[in-house]
Amino acid sequence: MPLGLNVHVGARMVRSAAFRLAVIQALMFALMALTLFLVSWFAARHYIENQLRQTIIDEFGEVIAHPPAQRAASIQRSLAQVPRGAYDYSLFDARRTLVVGDIREEPAVGWSTIEQHEGLRSGKDAVRRILVYGAAQDDGSTLVVGRDLASVDELDALLKRVFTWAGLAAVVLALAGGMVTARGYLRRVEAIAAAASRIAAGDLAARVSITGRGDEFDRLAVSLNSMLERIQTLVEGLRQVSNDIAHDLRTPLTHMRQRLEAAMDEATSLEGYSNACERALADVDSVLDTFAAMLRIAKVESRQQREGFTDIDLSQLLARLVDDYGPVLEDEERVLSAEIQPSVNVRGDALLLTQMFVNLLENALHHTPIGTPVTLKLVAAEQGCQVVMQDAGPGIPAQERTRVLKRFVRLDASRSTRGSGLGLALVAAVADLHDIVLTLGDAGPGLRVQLDFPHRQDA
Amino acid sequence: MRILLVEDDIDTRTYVSSGLRAKGHAVDESGDGQDGLLRACEHDYDVIVLDRMLPALDGMSVLKKLRSCGTQARVLMLTALGDVDARIDGMEAGADDYLGKPFALSELIARLNAISRRSAHANTMTLLRLGDLELDLIMQRVFRAGKQIHLQPREWDLLKYFALHAGEIITRSMLLEHVWGFQSSPHTNLVDTHVCRLRGKIERDFGPRIIRTVRGEGYTLSLKQGH
């Protein structure tokens, strides 16, 4: 099994992008080594050959410094030296016959490279490569001076060997480095993939581990984790809402069931049945109201910001609302007073903004005792504008002010009053859509609702 | 009146059509958009009740095709619960009114009456006279028995709506939608408060009441005595 696993990991590594990169890198190294070799080879060879030619020319000069008649003898002497000198000499007469020397065939005039069989030299049939320089002399003879190319060939071979090994080493190192990098990358990527599959399998709390090195993988892990955090919050929110709905609907549905049951058991007259039906209808309507409010909030929350927004005269919108609700509050023995700065414009959805203010006004109406004054104020500020609505009712305790903006939250004091506990949730959703900062505060006594509209960028 | 009901849910369709027939209307039924469109083009209906979500062809497409082929029939759209944008979309596509499901049958009947009798020349009228009540639609002035009554802008809108639909039952949600432009009904008695104030102004100093409350349904403006 471990072998199988290794093969598996190996196959995955070979397929990995990092490994592919390593192979390409190794090829690049090989190419670089080859180029380096060619350049050095040419340079070294050129240099040595030049040196060789120079020494040949020098030796040639020495030989022709002798008078023509003594050259053959001088060559004879040089060749007879023990140990033998580095040079080869030959003198050919005008009829191209070898007079003296060890270069047996007369080469072309000038520089050339010849190959000459040396018989059985040190037991082997050797071929010598000789660089020769030949020049015709005034007496018709041709003098040839040469030097063995063995040293140059040896250098050649050495260079080739060195560069072959160096190139191979570079390729192997590059491949090994690539493997190491690939394995490291693969491990990090597999860690992310593993976290993703755990999430896919339902474990929403799974996170990608962070090494703390602060590299690109850590940064990726951090952004993935924050995304997962958000998804988890949303999913849990959704779960919470479903629970809330189920819980909130159970009460009216249970009541309705009990009433209908009681009517079947006890009602004896048409009037009794009709009353039971009427109450059941009222219960159904309250459930439907809750549903509609939920759907409205969901719709507002799912809307793209600024989608379908228009320019709205907020002053006019509020003034109309005060005209509409002033009498309603008056009938319920509360006093609505307003202070509205004229011609304040905002961008938004007029229907939703109206709904938001209606909900706030109704809140003030339903959760305050008779005779409570309610004030509404609109002022334009340097950055955006501000609406403040205040009542002198019981207010909301400081620790509850965030909670009441959530769905279905009702304070104990208001359990007996009508309402679904969704009014302020819709206010919060509309405010959020409009980038309005909603602050619930203390009016001392009473509730102070402050709405800070954003500054209009396009204005 | 002659009504075409296009609705795919059989229970709703049967309930609504029998309710409408009981009120003396001739009702044709259709279960999908394609068939509904065909019938609407073949026959001359006064009102078409069109569900928004239909098989074969959705309600909005049916409405657009109807309007482009020049049908004179009034159209009332039915939409799903809580679909607040539907009203705007539907009105833009040429619907005369809109009603969210679930609805009370009385609400549907009231609205059908309202749109079928909406006179074609309502927009060009300058003066509306109902008994001793007189509305100057241009100057937005109201007279009763020759005496001018001063109304708030909202009260004027309210009275004008009542006057244009005199004799019909007008529900609270119709008033909320058409006079206030609200989508959802507030929990307060906004409508009752304003109707009450309007009554105070147009009825108190003048003999008979003209706006009557219809229990469980809404209001009606009626000039007949003895009701």
pLDDT per residue over A119-136, tens digit each?
A: 655 555 678 888 899 988
DSSP A303-358: SPTTTT-EEEEHHHHHHHHHHHHHHHHHHTT-EEEEEE-SS-EEEE-HHHHHHHHH
Q: B171 and B179 in contact (C-beta within 8 Å)?
A: no
What's the token pair of residue A362?
A: 């109704």
Report the gap between the CA of A400 and the closest CA in chain B (Å).
Answer: 23
Residue B15 and residue B36: Cα distance in Å, rounded? 18
**Residues whose CB falls within 8 Å of the CB of residue A397, separated by 6 or more in sequence, listed in order:** none
pLDDT tens digit sequence for A387-436 = 999 998 888 888 888 888 888 777 766 666 666 778 888 999 999 999 99
Q: Options 1.10.10.10, 3.40.50.720, 3.40.630.30, 3.40.50.450; which CATH number does B127-221 get?
A: 1.10.10.10
- Give 3-state DSSP helix, strand, coil % of chain A, rounded to 5: 60, 20, 25
Is the predicted pLDDT of residue B108 greater than 50, yes or no?
A: yes
When scoring A286, A300, A328 by the number of chain B Cβ atoms within 10 A, the one with the most, hence best to mutate, is A328
Residue A193 and residue A6: Cα distance in Å, rounded? 19
Please name the residue of chain B whose CA is at the shortest distance from the CA of residue A420. B187
Q: How far is CA A238 from CA A41, A233, A263, A302, B22, in A?
A: 74, 9, 37, 13, 45
**Sequence-separated contacts (24+) of A405-411 with Cβ below 8 Å:** A405/A438, A405/A440, A407/A241, A407/A244, A407/A294, A407/A297, A408/A244, A408/A245, A408/A247, A408/A248
What three-state secondary structure class fits A31?
helix
When scoring A286, A331, A363, A427 by the number of chain B Cβ atoms within 10 A, the one with the most, hence best to mutate, is A331
User: What per-residue confidence (pLDDT) applies to B16?
Assistant: 93
**Cβ contact, residue pair B81, A293, below 8 Å:** no
B193: amino acid identity, one letter:
T
User: What per-residue confidence (pLDDT) applies to B226?
Assistant: 43
Is the predicted pLDDT of residue A4 greater than 60, yes or no?
A: no
pLDDT band at A98 (very low <50, low <70, confident <90, very high): confident
Contacting B residues, span 161-180, partner chain A, CB-CB under 8 Å: 180
**Cβ contact, residue pair B194, A295, below 8 Å:** no
Please name the residue of chain B whose CA is at the shortest distance from the CA of residue A321. B180
Report the gap between the CA of B188 and the closest CA in chain A (Å).
Answer: 7
DSSP state of A410: -
pLDDT band at A340 (very low <50, low <70, confident <90, very high): very high
**Cβ contact, residue pair A299, B184, below 8 Å:** no
Contacting A residues, span 301-330, partner chain B, CB-CB under 8 Å: 320, 323-325, 327-328
A292 vs A358, higher pLDDT:
A358
Best CA proximity match to A131, nearest among A63, A61, A49: A49
Instruction: Give all domains of chain A, ordered by start, each with its CATH number.
Output: 216-300 (1.10.287), 306-452 (3.30.565.10)
Within 13 A of A133's CA, how many CA atoms are on the CB side? 17
Domain edges within chain B: 2-117, 127-221
Please name the residue of chain A whose CA is at the shortest distance from the CA of residue B193. A328
Is the predicted pLDDT of residue A167 greater than 90, yes or no?
A: no
Q: Is the pTM of this model over 0.90?
A: no
User: What per-residue confidence (pLDDT) applies to A5?
Assistant: 52
- Give the per-residue SS3 of A122-172: CCEEEEEEEEEEEEECCCCCEEEEEEECHHHHHHHHHHHHHHHHHHHHHHH
Residue A84 and residue A304: Cα distance in Å, rounded? 99
Residue A131 and residue A146: Cα distance in Å, rounded? 5
Is the predicted pLDDT of residue B220 greater than 80, yes or no?
A: yes
Q: B224 and B130 in contact (C-beta within 8 Å)?
A: no
Across A48-57, B14-23, B26-35, B84-93, least confident range: B84-93
pLDDT band at B227 (very low <50, low <70, confident <90, very high): very low
% of chain B beyond a pLDDT of 70: 92
Does B215 lie at the interface with A, CB-CB under 8 angstroms?
A: no
Residue A77 and residue A91: Cα distance in Å, rounded? 13
B146 phi and psi, to 5 degrees? 80, 0
The predicted model gives B41-60 an average pLDDT of 90
A136 phi and psi, to 5 degrees? -75, 140
Q: How far is CA A150 from CA A6, A20, A88, A116, A310, in A?
A: 52, 44, 13, 13, 94
pLDDT tens digit sequence for B127-149 = 888 888 899 988 889 998 888 99
Residue B168 and residue B81: Cα distance in Å, rounded? 26
The predicted model gives A434-442 an average pLDDT of 91
pLDDT band at A15 (very low <50, low <70, confident <90, very high): confident
A6 vs B37, higher pLDDT:
B37
Report the gap between the CA of A220 and the closest CA in chain B (Å).
Answer: 40
Q: B205 and B146 in contact (C-beta within 8 Å)?
A: no
pLDDT band at A338 (very low <50, low <70, confident <90, very high): very high
- pLDDT winner (highest mean) among A78-82, A246-250, A445-449: A445-449
Residue A145 and residue A107: Cα distance in Å, rounded? 10
Judge if B2-117 and B127-221 fold alike in CATH terms: no
State the CB neighbour count (10 A cutoff) for residue A236: 11
- The mean predicted confidence, pLDDT, of chain A is 85
**Which chain B residues are closer than 8 Å to A354 by Cβ?**
181-182
Work out whether the CA dihedral B68, B72, B76, B78 comes out positive or negative: negative
Q: A242 and A407 in contact (C-beta within 8 Å)?
A: no
In the CATH scheme, what is the code of domain B2-117? 3.40.50.2300
* Partners of B93 in the β-ladder: none
